[in-house]
Structure 1
Amino acid sequence: MNVDLFDFDLPNERIALRPAAPRDTARMLVVDGAGLHDRVVSDLPDQLRAGDLLVFNDTRVIPAQLEGMRGQARIGATLHKREGPRRWRAFVRNAKRLRDGDAIDFGHGVAATANARGEDGSWALDFHGDEPVELLLERAGQMPLPPYIAGKRATDARDQDDYQTMFAREAGAVAAPTAALHFTPDLLAALAAAGVEHATLTLHVGAGTFLPVKAEDTDDHRMHAEWGRIDAATADRLNAVRARGGRVIAVGTTSLRLIESAAHEDGTIQAFEGDTSIFITPGYRFRGIDGLMTNFHLPRSTLFMLVSALMGLERMQTAYAHAIANDYRFYSYGDASLLLP
């Protein structure tokens, strides 16, 4: 499909630089067979049915943004995928100043050697020493806010909490599964009281989620692989919910993509552990999910293509035009949509 079909104009002031406080006071646009409905996230228990199940991603964002020096050259690195105990694949700023085997000093006793430049321009960084890389990143790294936020303000102490979900447990993501940022313990309790269950899976979100689609046709775009896991007990729960007539609602496109990666043609979900690079565009037949809660996405992005596949391109164009006209806040710290095909 032509990527231009997924373009739209977004006023700069619609990009949220801070999340709503409290988190569940964010607005929520419900898109279903009856049309568009303006709600807030705390209304979610009234929008779902007893027996439905929400699926959250329990990945935890690591301080994956690094600034260092290669000699006199300043080098920036954003880690995006672990390739070994001490090796991370990274997108590098000022990469033209790097050669294979160059050492980068990130300060605070943290250094790495750049090796194996990829076709996409990324580098493998092999971290020096014996300390776990996670400890090195805690010393030298920063929270990797999306470029559309980081380009407007500096990362600060508030982001250490704001950019983690209440489910964050498994360290390894370099971007938050942002739909789950809207949830609070009180909202989860209200959902439980309404008979709505929840489960978790793990998908370590990579920095590739921020990359624009540069190809003119979706067939020519290559997704970056991300590691995920659904254990057997969770897969069994999801299958049981659907077998008794409940709906599996993915919270976030990361949860959705992993469920769809684990789903068979007949809709049953199997245990899964490994990489996924699933790319969902209109024409895709969804097998494992019955709905999606997600934020509002970038023009020409793989995520806007995904929601258009779920709900139809024309309907999502209408929904996004409504959101823009009615002052909804966009992107990672913005408002939510609940999509029920």
Structure 2
Amino acid sequence: MKTSDFYFDLPEELIAQEPLADRASSRLLVVNKETGVWEHKYFRNIMDYLRAGDCLVINNTRVLPARLYGERVGTGAAMEILLLTRKDLDTWEVLVRPGKKAKPGDKISFGNGKLVAEVLEVIEGGNRILRFTYEGVFEAILAELGEMPLPPYITHRLEDKERYQTVYAKHEGSAAAPTAGLHFTPELLEEIKAMGIKIAHVTLHVGLGTFRPVKVEDVLAHEMHSEYYVVEQEQADIINETKRNGGRIFSVGTTSTRTLESAADENGIVQAKSGWTQIFIYPGYQFKIIDCLITNFHLPESTLIMLVSALVGKDLTMAAYGEAVKEKYRFFSFGDACLFLTKP
């Protein structure tokens, strides 16, 4: 299986640069795996494809305002860091730009000294380990000084940080939003609940690896990035009960999908557990939990489009993407959505 099998040509003007004013007014391409037929809808029409007894699984991670701009103490040189992984209370693994100006012992000041970081070490891959000193609460300082770590294909400045959060975002820790969930409004979720549909919460902290292209031509040679997830017992029970009763599991996004499939045992039962997952889902994978997938349109040759192809087949996936390009759907994080139905 070749990475180039998952390539499609995407005009740059279809890459959404800003979120819509109304989250639920995004367009929705509905693709039926059984018939190969698709429909053009709006996201609020998602309710037409759900029925009582189904379960919607959402990822309640919250994006950290993880991009910080500061200056090197002593020289005043401009520095930019991106928080990646918290090692302990005040120690983080980060990306630093320019990296050559961040050597062990160097200090970087942010917000005129409100936050100061010392470079402890350079680790494999060029990332740094930093230790922060400050007065007060780190998260509050980060909320004041930090900016949202928008993907590299978004060049516009985001005025409202909350538009890169889902309305149900709760547990901070992501370097990127679980973008399929950006289309839901509180009102839409309440209407879905009123239909007799359960909503289960899982947590997967999205890492920057989600934006990295697959750099090898042989898909099987790709090394998947690792992300931390949590599935609580109460939420596992909701999902397992839905399966037992014949309801369908609608996974909101590839992150929810990777969480569910990582937490499932060999009998297709979701376990309450937490840990790091490097699960790589590509064509040939046998899904244990999910039946239907709500997701945005992903980058060419990405692990995300491979996951979709594993669920509904590569040919149907690429045909649907071709249709989305032809009909000028908006792509990527702030773009439109797609609903893939395997059990209509």
Query: Contact 2:54–2:197 at 8 Å: present in 1 too?
Result: yes
- Tell me which residue corresponds to 1:102: 106
1:92 counterpart SS class = strand
1:239 counterpart SS class = helix
Query: Contact 2:18–2:158 at 8 Å: present in 1 too?
Result: no
1:288-327 pair list within 5 angstroms: 288-327=289-328
- Tell me which residue corresponds to 2:71: 69
1:310 counterpart SS class = helix
Q: Deviations over 1:122-159 (max 9, x none)?
A: 2222212464431231232111111111xx22232x2x
Does the C-alpha gap of structure 1 residues 304 and 191 become closer, same or farther in structure 2, counting only changes over 3 Å? same
Distance across 1 between alignment mates of 2:78 and 2:269: 50
Distance across 1 between alignment mates of 2:312 and 2:246: 21
- Tell me which residue corresponds to 2:223: 222
Shift of 1:72: 4.2
Identical counterparts, % of pairs? 47
Report which stretch shifted further, 317-326 or 274-283: 274-283
Shift of 1:98: 2.1
Whichever residue aligns with residue 119 of structure 1, its letter is E
Structure 1 stretches of 5 or more lacking a match?
Answer: none
Distance across 1 between alignment mates of 2:125 and 2:100: 13
1:169-208 pair list within 5 angstroms: 169-208=170-209
Aligned residues: 337
Shift of 1:234: 0.7
Does the C-alpha gap of structure 1 residues 125 and 170 become closer, same or farther in structure 2, counting only changes over 3 Å? same
TM-score, with normalisation over the residues of structure 2?
A: 0.93
Query: Contact 1:58–1:170 at 8 Å: present in 2 too?
Result: yes
1:67 counterpart SS class = strand
1:316 counterpart SS class = helix
Does the C-alpha gap of structure 1 residues 116 and 258 become closer, same or farther in structure 2, counting only changes over 3 Å? farther
1:63 counterpart SS class = coil
Query: Contact 2:96–2:102 at 8 Å: present in 1 too?
Result: no
Alignment of 1:239 with 2:240, yes or no, is yes
1:116 counterpart SS class = strand
Query: Contact 2:57–2:199 at 8 Å: present in 1 too?
Result: yes
- Tell me which residue corresponds to 2:52: 50
Distance across 2 between alignment mates of 1:177 and 1:200: 13
Distance across 2 between alignment mates of 1:139 and 1:186: 29
Provide the alpha-carbon RMSD of the alignment. 1.6
- Tell me which residue corresponds to 1:126: 131
- Tell me which residue corresponds to 2:156: 153
Query: Contact 1:45–1:196 at 8 Å: present in 2 too?
Result: no
Shift of 1:298: 0.6
Shift of 1:111: 1.4
Alignment of 1:210 with 2:211, yes or no, is yes
Distance across 2 between alignment mates of 1:266 and 1:130: 50
1:317 counterpart SS class = helix
Distance across 2 between alignment mates of 1:2 and 1:93: 33
Structure 2 stretches of 5 or more lacking a match?
Answer: none
Whichever residue aligns with residue 140 of structure 1, its letter is L
Alignment of 1:5 with 2:5, yes or no, is yes
Query: Contact 2:54–2:249 at 8 Å: present in 1 too?
Result: yes
Whichever residue aligns with residue 74 of structure 1, its letter is A
- Tell me which residue corresponds to 2:86: 82
2:315 counterpart SS class = helix
Q: Could you list the structure 1 runs, at least 4 aligned residues long, displaced by more than 3 angstroms after superposition.
A: 129-132
Query: Contact 2:103–2:121 at 8 Å: present in 1 too?
Result: no
Report which stretch shifted further, 132-141 or 314-323: 132-141
Does the C-alpha gap of structure 1 residues 326 and 63 become closer, same or farther in structure 2, counting only changes over 3 Å? same
Shift of 1:21: 2.8
Query: Contact 1:52–1:246 at 8 Å: present in 2 too?
Result: yes
Distance across 1 between alignment mates of 2:289 and 2:322: 29
Distance across 2 between alignment mates of 1:280 and 1:134: 34
Distance across 1 between alignment mates of 2:38 and 2:285: 23
Shift of 1:100: 2.4
1:268-279 pair list within 5 angstroms: 268-279=269-280
- Tell me which residue corresponds to 1:59: 61
1:9 counterpart SS class = coil
TM-score, with normalisation over the residues of structure 1?
A: 0.94
Q: Deviations over 1:290-315 (max 9, x none)?
A: 11100000111111111111111111
1:253-272 pair list within 5 angstroms: 253-272=254-273
